[in-house]
Amino acid sequence: MAKRNRIPEKYQRWIDTRRRYHLSHAHIQMARELGLNPKKFGGLANTKQEPWKLPLPEFIEELYIKHFKKYRPDTVRSIEQMVKDYHK
């Protein structure tokens, strides 16, 4: 029987966050490079009760531009690709 590669918990959190907040792979990669905590995204994305906040994807993009002085990462890789490459 072939061994099934499970996704480690630290990566699974990012996958769940991507699905829950409808983020792209690029947004998740930017957030990871910025060192954001996926558990704290609920407070960052609370736009219905706090309308002055930016939507979460725009907030991540703004932080990324301020920190790295560029609009997107040079190469965008999904979490699944990173796990797959790690297990090779």
pLDDT classification of 27: cutoffs 50, 70, 90: very high
Q: Determine contact, residues 34/60, Cβ cutoff 8 Å.
A: yes
- In a domain, residue 1? The reply is no
pTM of the prediction? 0.86
Angle between helical axes of 9-20 and 79-86 (0-180°, round to 10)? 160
Instruction: State how many domains the chain has.
Output: 1
Is there a domain that residue 4 lies in?
no
d(CA 19, CA 7): 15
Residue 41 lies in a domain: yes
The verdict on residue 16 lying in a domain is yes
Residue 3 lies in a domain: no
Q: From CA 60, how far away is CA 31, in angstroms rounded?
A: 6
Q: What is the pLDDT of residues 29-66, one digit of tens each?
A: 999 999 999 999 999 988 788 889 999 999 999 999 99
Look up the domain containing 21 and give its range. Answer: 9-86
